[in-house]
Amino acid sequence: MRELEPLSELPLSLSRDDVARAFEPFVGRRVKVKDPEWAAHMKRRKKKIVIKGARRLITRWLPSGQRRETEIVEEYDQVWGGDTYARYDLDRKPDRLSPWEWQGELMLAATVGATRFRQVMLAAVIEAVRPGRILEIGCGNGINLFLAAGRFPEVEFHGLELTSVGYEAARRLQNDHETLPRSLQKFAPQPPADPTAHRRIHFHRGSAAELPFEAGEFDLVYTVLALEQMERIRQQALAEMARVTAGHAFNIEPFRDVNAKGWPRWNVFRRDYFRGAIDELEGFGLQPVWATDDYPQESFLKTAAVLSRRI
Ligand SMILES: C[S@@+](CC[C@H](N)C(=O)[O-])C[C@H]1O[C@@H](n2cnc3c(N)ncnc32)[C@H](O)[C@@H]1O
């Protein structure tokens, strides 16, 4: 199992305070383990994992027990439909809080806040690696790219997404707004250097299993909870990611290393999420440089952030 490093040990200009500050607007409240609302959340989630986990134990060999493309598209067509960018509005009260933890603290927080602190981490990686061309695989409605492009206007950004609803939402935002909407500028952890940079992002529709790019086209390829969805195509997706980068890969994903035991393990199993190990990347020609899980974590689904270099 790969050793995970604290944030302070990474060769990045990034502190715990930077991460905490980005997440703070989305932390409803900090709680103790006996807090009734926290306890109710934990009970509900555990019950769901037991019931759905038991069902999957029986059906895991059948198509209905596996997370296949049709199911993913159905789910994310919903997620990226409607007013998909409203959730990033800092002035809007979040619909739902869920259990998060970090540094021994328990928090009821809005999941969308994670997009904000992950952006801080991604920006620190871009600053360290200095790529000219970047690809996000599984970019959803493009939020990570919109924020990063504003911050690094000199970089050429590409995003690839499976669902037409996610892809079209991103294209609409580009076409309908000459400058990045105010609410997204505010959501960005740092004000954009160029609020028109979102218009230059290249969006593609396709699957991670077969990327429509030449070998080594990018200097940095990244994923944020996208491999999560790709357990059924794990080998192809990792091989394709490695093929198209000539420099680095950066993945914030539920690697097996951080979900090896307890409730997270059963949650990953019941959802049929990604279960690849960090050291597995080497088999695809990606040498891990560092790995960390030192940032807020969902109590039932942990992730590790891993930077690797193409070898
Ligand atoms: C949890 S969302 C994350 C979206 C985005 N990375 C973010 O951080 O907001 C996972 C995304 O991966 C996409 N996805 C799942 N399987 C895919 C595949 N085979 N190829 C490309 N994208 C895929 C889904 O459609 C969804 O938009």
Model confidence at 196: pLDDT above 80: yes
pTM for this model (two decimals): 0.97
In a domain, 1, yes or no: no
Q: Is 208 in the pocket of ligand 1 (CB under 6 A)?
A: yes
In a domain, 2, yes or no: no
- Expressed in angstroms and rounded, the spacing between residue 32 Cα and the centre of ligand 1 is 34
Average pLDDT taken over every residue of the chain? 96
In a domain, 119, yes or no: yes
Ligand 1 atom, smallest distance to 160 CA: 21
User: Cβ distance 123 to 149 under 8 Å?
Assistant: no
- Expressed in angstroms and rounded, the spacing between residue 256 Cα and the centre of ligand 1 is 19
Tell me the C-alpha to C-alpha distance, in Å, between residue 25 and each of 35, 110, 112, 148, 197: 21, 9, 10, 20, 25
In a domain, 298, yes or no: yes
Would you state the pLDDT for residue 2?
A: 87
**Residue of 76, 116, 141 with the most ligand 1 atoms within 8 Å of its CB, for mutation:** 76
Model confidence at 95: pLDDT above 80: no
For the chain, what is the domain count?
1
In a domain, 39, yes or no: yes
In a domain, 118, yes or no: yes
27-75 tens-digit pLDDT: 999 999 999 999 999 999 999 999 999 899 888 988 888 899 999 999 9
Q: How confident is the model at residue 261 (pLDDT cuts 50, 70, 90)?
A: very high
In a domain, 109, yes or no: yes
- Looking only at the bridges linking them, the beta strands covering 245-253 and 218-224 are parallel
- Residue 80: which CATH number? 3.40.50.150
- Expressed in angstroms and rounded, the spacing between residue 292 Cα and the centre of ligand 1 is 22
Closest CA to 212 of 201, 220, 204: 204
Q: Is 148 in the pocket of ligand 1 (CB under 6 A)?
A: no
In a domain, 102, yes or no: yes
Would you state the pLDDT for residue 216?
A: 98
Q: How confident is the model at residue 251 (pLDDT cuts 50, 70, 90)?
A: very high
User: Cβ distance 23 to 114 under 8 Å?
Assistant: yes
Expressed as residue numbers, the domain containing 122 is: 7-310
- Expressed in angstroms and rounded, the spacing between residue 112 Cα and the centre of ligand 1 is 15
